[in-house]
Amino acid sequence: MRHLTLLLFMILASAMQAEAAPTSIRCDGKYYQRQQAYFVTYDLKTNHFVFENPGGNRLPGEIIGVSDAQMDLSLRADGGRILLSFDRTRNVMTWPGMPGNELGRTLLQHACTVVTGRTMLSAFSQPEQFDPKRLDPVDAFSLTCPGQYGPYFVTLDRSTKTVVLETQSAAETMSGNVTGANDGSIRFAVAGRSGSQFDLVWDERKRLLTWIGVADDPARPTTSHECAVTGPRSIMESYAQLAR
């Protein structure tokens, strides 16, 4: 009997943990008359979600109603809110049309599927065009590193070579690329809004992240931080910054 009780407890705990983790869905929408997917990652624990449109932009939103059958969403957009509903039994996202088809906005329904959790790699951006598949996590992980005023985070993917660095207090998100890897080290470069580029090296054995200094610039010496390795950070970590 004790074994049965323990088994039931483990099953229940596992189910609760799965429900508590953010869930990502991919929906088959249309963008500028082309069939392109968009993503929604939601967290039933906080009632928040992050919407990724096919153009790479991210928008925050809130879950305003949820049941086993349906989830009602309020998406923050320029000029106001857009109300959506997700049929959890049929896996269909509905974008309500305007009454009488005003403004040419008709009701839209898109088929959706559950996908691997979207990560902070979705915050990757570059001025030149890039393959959006680089945002899909393949062999990704994150680093939590101590900064002067608080922790900063790096999420990178060994396979897609994509890197996203979140500065202290989420003041800025930098994007970059893995530039080389050998003998337990990964070299990568990121750039900020100012255009300044930073070169870094992650030593997997020593768990040290080194910022390569710039000659003749005392403000940018070579520094190293001991970092903790975790699974890739969820795109939900960007909700607070997006919602400001």
The tens digit of pLDDT for each residue in 108-154 reads 999 999 999 999 999 999 888 888 899 999 999 999 999 988 999 99
Statement: residue 14 has pLDDT above 50: no
Q: What is the mean pLDDT of residues 40-48?
A: 98
Fold of 2-118: Lipocalin (2.40.128)
Contact 168, 187 (CB under 8 A): no
Q: How far apart are CA 212 and CA 98, in angstroms?
A: 55
pLDDT of residue 98: 63
What is the percentage of the chain residues whose pLDDT exceeds 90? 71
Which residue's entry shows tokens 């570059």?
A: 126
Q: Report the chain's mean pLDDT, rounded to a whole number.
A: 89
Amino acid at the residue 72: D
Q: What is the mean pLDDT of residues 10-26?
A: 64
pLDDT of residue 56: 85
> What residues pair up with 209 in beta bridges, in sequence order?
202, 225
In terms of Cα–Cα distance, which of 109, 71, 114 is closest to 92? 109
Sheet holding 173-182, edge to edge: 223-226, 208-211, 197-203, 185-191, 173-182, 162-166, 151-157, 140-146, 228-230
Contact 59, 235 (CB under 8 A): no
At residue 160's C-alpha, the angle toward residues 120 and 112, to 5°, is 60
Contact 97, 103 (CB under 8 A): no
Amino acid at the residue 186: I
pLDDT digits (tens, 9 = 90+) for 184-233: 999 999 998 888 899 999 999 999 999 999 998 999 999 999 999 999 99
pLDDT digits (tens, 9 = 90+) for 77-105: 888 899 999 999 999 999 987 655 455 56
pLDDT of residue 9: 43
Tokens of 36: 């392109």
Q: How far apart are CA 88 and CA 164, in angstroms?
A: 31
Contact 115, 122 (CB under 8 A): no
Q: Virtual CA dihedral for 244, 43, 49, 173, nearest 10 degrees? A: 50
pLDDT of residue 59: 97
* Domain spans in the chain, listed from the N-terminal domain onward: 2-118, 121-240
